[in-house]
C-alpha cells in the first residue's frame, strides 16, 4: 500500500485574531480563511501564499467559509457570530463584493455557526 504524502505549510495569514476555518476552492488554487478579527482573507496558492483580497462585511467573529462549485462562478459563503450568512462574488478586477446577506429576525438572531453549498448536481 502506498503511503500518503503529508505536507505541512505555515501561512502568515495577517489576521489579528484566531483563524477558525480555512477552505480551498474546487481547483485548490485559492484559499479562504475565516477569523475572529471579523474578516475573511483570500490567498492565491502556489509556491507561496499571496494575499489577494479581504472581505469585511461581518461585525462578529467569522466561523466558517465555503466555496461554491465553479460552474456558478467564483462565489464564497461566510457565516458569523453576528447572525449573518453572506455570499460574496469576485469581480473581474479581483475585488470581492457581498452580493447577498441573510439574517434572522432581530428577536431570533443568534450566531450562525456553519455554512455549506448544496451539491452542484441539485442546484439550479
User: Is there a domain that residue 113 lies in?
Assistant: no
Which domain does 32 fall in, by range?
Answer: 19-108
Percent of the chain with pLDDT over 70: 94
For 3-24, what is each residue's pLDDT tens digit? Answer: 666 677 788 888 889 999 999 9
User: Is there a domain that residue 65 lies in?
Assistant: yes
User: Is there a domain that residue 3 lies in?
Assistant: no
Q: Taking phi first (over 0 means left), then psi (-120 to 50 degrees means alpha), and beta for anything else, what does residue 121 get?
A: alpha
Backbone φ and ψ of 88, nearest 5°? -120, 145
Which of the four pLDDT bands, split at 50, 70 and 90, describes residue 48? confident
DSSP class of residue 111?
-
DSSP class of residue 94?
S
What pLDDT score was predicted for residue 6?
A: 62
Domain count within the chain: 1
Q: Residue 96 pLDDT > 90, yes or no?
A: yes
Which CATH number fits the domain that encloses residue 40?
A: 2.40.10
Nearest to 26 by CA among 57, 72, 63, 62: 72
Q: Residue 124 pLDDT > 90, yes or no?
A: no
User: Is there a domain that residue 44 lies in?
Assistant: yes
User: Is there a domain that residue 114 lies in?
Assistant: no
Name 121's bridge partners: none
User: Is there a domain that residue 27 lies in?
Assistant: yes
User: Is there a domain that residue 101 lies in?
Assistant: yes
Beta strands in 1-124 (DSSP E): 19-24, 30-35, 40-45, 49-55, 62-67, 75-80, 84-90, 96-103
User: Is there a domain that residue 72 lies in?
Assistant: yes
SS3 49: strand
Amino acid at each position: 500500500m502506498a503511503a500518503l504524502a503529508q505536507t505541512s505549510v505555515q501561512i502568515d495569514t495577517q489576521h489579528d485574531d484566531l483563524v477558525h476555518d480555512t477552505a480551498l476552492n474546487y481547483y485548490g488554487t485559492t484559499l479562504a480563511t475565516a477569523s475572529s478579527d471579523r474578516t475573511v482573507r483570500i490567498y492565491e496558492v502556489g509556491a507561496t501564499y499571496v494575499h489577494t483580497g479581504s472581505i469585511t462585511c461581518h461585525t462578529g467573529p467569522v466561523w466558517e467559509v465555503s466555496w461554491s462549485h465553479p460552474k456558478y462562478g467564483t462565489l464564497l459563503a461566510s457565516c458569523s457570530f453576528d447572525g449573518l450568512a453572506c455570499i460574496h462574488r469576485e469581480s473581474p478586477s479581483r475585488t470581492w463584493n457581498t452580493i447577498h446577506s441573510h439574517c434572522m429576525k432581530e428577536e431570533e438572531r443568534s450566531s450562525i455557526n456553519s455554512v455549506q453549498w448544496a451539491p452542484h448536481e441539485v442546484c439550479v
